[in-house]
Every structure is written in C-alpha cells, then in structure tokens.
C-alpha cells in the first residue's frame, strides 16, 4: 500500500505534463482519503473492545460512520466525475487543491 501511495502521488499528482488538472486533483483526493483512513484504523487496533457491551456498540457505530462517509464520498465523487464536474469531497478537497497547484 505504501508503494502504491508513493507511485500515485509522484506519477499522477506531480506529473503536470501527462495528466490534466482534473485527473491530478481527483488522484490527490484519493490519496488524502487514504491517509485519513489511517487514523480510524490505528484507533481500531489500539482500542478495539474485546467483549460485548457498550464499548463494542460505540466501536461498531464509529466503524459504520467511517464506512458511510467513504461510501457517500465514492458515490458523490464518481457521479460528479461522470457528469464532468470536479467533485469537492469534504475534509480532503482543500488539501488536494493545495497539492495540485
């Protein structure tokens, strides 16, 4: 995964001659989403409850929230790209904008 991340960043995002700004911006948003997924994964590995109870319910709710955010981002981004509109995904669009300039 790390090699794919580095390859995507340098081969697509930083390559202004080969790819349009639209492709580079969407690739950077994908990279930023991938980086953001590290945080919930680290929390899940560190604080995952071992048995049933309120801890497991909270953990499951947080995992479902992350999944729902990714699903909505995927549907919105894919739909916007099919329509030819530049999708601005929440949380990551500003970071992607700064990297693509």
pLDDT in tens, 5-57: 888 888 887 777 888 888 888 888 888 888 888 877 787 777 767 777 777 77
- Both tokens of 79, joined, read 């739909």
Q: What is the pLDDT of residue 95?
A: 83
What tokens appear for 6 in the block?
A: 């580095």
Task: Give the pLDDT confidence of 85-100 residue by residue, as tens digits.
Answer: 888 888 888 888 888 8
Long-range contacts of 63-68 (CB under 8 A, 24+ apart): 66/37, 66/40
d(CA 71, CA 3): 24
Number of structural domains, the chain?
1
Show the domain range for 18: 1-98
């Amino acid at each position: 995964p790390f090699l794919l991340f580095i390859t995507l960043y340098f081969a697509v995002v930083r390559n202004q001659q080969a790819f349009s700004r639209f492709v580079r911006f969407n690739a950077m948003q994908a990279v930023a989403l991938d980086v953001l997924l590290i945080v919930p994964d680290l929390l899940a590995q560190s604080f995952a409850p071992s048995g049933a109870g309120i801890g497991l319910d909270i953990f499951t709710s947080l995992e479902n929230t992350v999944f729902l955010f990714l699903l909505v981002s995927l549907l919105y981004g894919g739909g916007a790209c099919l329509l030819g509109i530049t999708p601005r995904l929440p949380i990551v669009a500003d970071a992607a904008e700064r990297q693509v300039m």
